[in-house]
Amino acid sequence: MLVQSIQLNKKNQLINEYRKEQDFVTEYFDYKPFTEVKERAAYVQQIKRDRKKLVDVLHNMNRNWDAPESTLKQIERLKDEASVVVIGGQQAGLLTGPLYSLNKLISVYRFAKEQEKLLGVPVIPIFWIAGEDHDYDEINHIYTVRDKKIKKHMTKQQEWIKKSVSSISLDKQKTANWLREAFLDLRETSYTKELYTKMENCLERAQTFVDFFALIIFELFKEEGIVLVDSGNEQLRQLEGEHFTNIFEQSEQIAEDVYETVQTLQQQGYNVPLDVERDDVHLFYHDEHGERILLKREENEFVGKNGEVKLTKEALLHIAQTTPEKLSNNVITRPIMQELLFPTLAFIAGDGEISYWAALKKAFHTLGEKMPPVVPRLSFTYVPKRTEKLLEQRVIQVEEAIREGVSQKKMQWLMAQTHAPIEYLFEEAKLSLEKIHAPLQEMAENIAPDLHEASKTNIHLMMEQLSFLERKTMQTIREQYDEAIGQFEELDLVLHPNGGLQERVYSPLFLLNEYGESWIQQINQLSSIPFTEDHFAVYFMG
C-alpha cells in the first residue's frame, strides 16, 4: 500500500488558517492543532474522575456488541490513573456510513498509537457513536454505482418522530432487503460472499442502527483495540447526571459565551455553521414518546423550542439527578460532556467539527475545563488498481482528478479527436443556407402571401434537417470514442463523485468487496502518515 500526500484547495478560511496555526484563529482554542501533547497529558492526569464507573459502563456496552479481546483490554487500561484517551466520533450510518467515518476511526487509532509511544502511558482510542442524534435522514442510506451513475440507496424503513438513533429499532426484514439490493450493485469478487455473510450476521445480531454500526466496526477493527461508546446509552446517561446538573446551573452563561463567540467569528468573516441564540439551553428533553425536544430559556422556565413542553428549573434539576436518560446533549454540550467523562488527550475532528468547536472555548472555561487539542482527522481518497491504470492511460495526475475532476479533460480530449471543427462547419452551413434561401423567400412574397408562408416553412424544415445531421454526427463521434469517454467518466465516479471527495459519498462497501478487510490493517500499520497534511491518495499494491 502506497500513500501520496495531496494538497486540496479548501475554501473554508477558518480551516485553512487553523491548519496553518495562525495566531488569530488559534486564539479560539486552548491548544494549537499540532502541538506537543505532553503539557495536555500532565493537565488531564491531575483531574480526578470516577474511572471505575466509566470502565464498568464501557465493559457492559462493548460486550453487548461482542467486542474483541483487544477492546476489552484497552478498557481495563483506563483504570490506570495515568491513562488518557484520544476520542473522535460520528453518526451510526448504515454499513458505517460514508468513508470518512472509517477514516476517522483510522485517525483515532493511529493518533493514540503515536502518542502512547511518545508519552509512555496508556493512550486508549475511543470512538463516540452519536446515538443520541435524531437526524435519521443522514444515516438511512448509502450511495452505490448502478449503470455508471451514482445512486442513493435508501432503506424502506421510515421514522416520523425525532427519536434518538439509539432508540430506533431496526426493521430486520426491510434492512435485510436493503442489504441484498446494495450488494446487487457490486461486481462479484472472491470476497463478495464472505462479506455479505458477515454483514448479514451483524444485522441478525443487531437490535438498533447503533448496534448494526458497532458490530460492523468490530468486524473491521478486530486487533486495534478501538473502544466504542454509544452516546445514547442509558447507563452512560447515569454517569452524565451530575454533569447535566452543572450544565443547567451554568446554561445561561454557556449560551452567552457561545452566542458572543459566534457573532465575533462571523463578523471577522469566518463561516461557523451554528445557529445559536442567547436563550438556548443546548440540551434536549425526551418526552414520553421518546421524541427529542430542544429546550429554550423563557424567563424562569425551560420550554420546548416549539412550545411542546414547559418545565421549571427545579423540575429539570430533579430529572438530571433521578432520570438523566430523559436528557441529551446538542452539538454545543456534547463536546463538553465528552471532556467531563473522559481524560481526553486529544479530540480528532473533521472540518465541520473544527468550525463549531471554534465557538466553544469560553463555554469549556465556564464549566472549569480546558478544551482539548482539536486535531484534524486524516483524509483519504482510495485509488483502486484499475483507477490507477486509467490515470496513467489518460495521463492525468491523481491530485488533479481528486481536486477538480476530469470532466474538462474529457471534453478537451473529445474535441481534439475530430478532424474538422464540426460545430463551426454546421454553423457556417446554416448561415450559407439562410443566404441562399433569402432571395427565394423574397420572390415567393412577391408572387403570393401563401407561397411566402410555404417558403418560411421550407427553410425551417431544412434547418431542422441540418440540426438533425449535426446531432447524428456528434453522436457518431461520441460512439467512436465511447470506451475512452467511459474511462474519463469512471475516473470521476471513483475519484470525484458528485463533484466532491470520495470519502464524503461512498461507504467502504466497494473497497471491502474488491480488497477484503486486510487493507484497513495495512493502512493502520503504515509507518508515517502525518496529521499535518491535507489529504492522501492511497494506492492498492499488487
**Is-contact 465 437, C-beta < 8 A?**
no
| Average pLDDT, rounded, for the chain | 92
**What's the mean pLDDT in 92-115?**
96
Alpha carbon distance 177, 153 (integer Å)? 11
Cα gap 491→508, rounded to integer Å: 17
- pLDDT > 90 fraction of the chain, expressed in percent and rounded: 74
Predicted confidence (pLDDT) per residue in 111-161, tens digit? 999 999 999 999 999 999 998 887 888 999 999 999 889 999 999 999 877
Amino acid at 328: S
pLDDT of amino acid 23: 84
Annotate 336-359 with DSSP letters as a single string.
HHHHHHS-EEEEEE-HHHHHHHTT
* 142 Cβ neighbours under 8 A, 6+ residues apart: 93, 94, 95, 97, 98, 153, 182, 506, 507, 509
pLDDT for res 414: 75
What is the pLDDT, as a whole number, of residue 419? 58
Give the per-residue pLDDT at 420.
58
CB atoms within 10 A of CB 426: 17
pLDDT of the residue at 331 = 92
Residue 542, exposed/middle/buried by CB under 10 A (0-12, 13-18, 19+)?
exposed
pLDDT tens figures, 249-302: 999 999 999 999 999 999 999 989 899 999 999 999 998 888 889 999 998 889
The enclosing H or E element of 304 equals strand 301-304
Alpha helices by DSSP H, listed for 224-350, are 234-249, 251-267, 313-322, 333-341
Predicted local distance difference test score (pLDDT) of residue 151: 94
- As a whole number of Å, the CA-based R_g of the chain is 29
3-state SS assignment for residue 537: strand
pLDDT band at 418 (very low <50, low <70, confident <90, very high): low
Please state the rounded mean pLDDT for residues 474-485: 79
d(C-alpha 443, C-alpha 499), whole Å: 55
43-50 LR contacts (CB < 8 Å, sep 24+): 43/370, 44/84, 44/343, 44/344, 44/345, 44/372, 45/81, 45/82, 45/84, 45/121, 45/343, 47/343, 49/341, 49/342, 49/343, 50/239
Query: Rounded distance, CA 380 to CA 4, Å?
Result: 10
pLDDT of residue 518: 93
Kindly report the pTM of this predicted structure.
0.88
The per-residue pLDDT for range 367-376, each reduced to its tens digit, is: 999 999 999 9
Q: What is the pLDDT of residue 440?
A: 85
What is the phi/psi pair of residue 142, to 5°?
A: -135, 170
- Three-class DSSP labels, 405-464: CCHHHHHHHHHHHCCCCHHHHHHHHHHHHHHHHHHHHHHHHHHCHHHHHHHHHHHHHHHH
Q: Cell numbers at residue 23, please?
A: 495566531
pLDDT at 537: 97
Pairing of strands 310-312, 301-304: antiparallel
Q: What is the 3-state secondary structure (H, E, C) of 111-126?
A: HHHHHHHHHCCCEEEE
Which residues make beta-bridge pairs with 346? 86
Residue 421 pLDDT > 80: no
Cβ 160 vs Cβ 288: under 8 Å = no
CA dihedral over 177, 182, 187, 190, signed as positive or negative: negative
Per-residue buried b or exposed e for 257-284, using 16+ beta carbons within 10 Å of the residue's own CB = bbbebbeebeeeebebebebeebbbbbb
b (16+ CB within 10 A) / e for 401-423: bbbebbeebbeebbeeeeeeeee
According to the model, what pLDDT value does residue 371 have?
95
Name the DSSP class of 516: -
DSSP structure string for 462-501 = HHHHHHHHHHHHHHHHHHHTHHHHHHHHHHHHHHSGGGS-
The region, left, alpha or beta by phi > 0 then psi within -120 to 50, assigned to residue 284 is: beta
- Please check the confidence at residue 415 and state whether its pLDDT lies above 80: no
- With cell 469549556, the residue in question is 364
Identify the residue with better confidence: 48 or 417.
Answer: 48
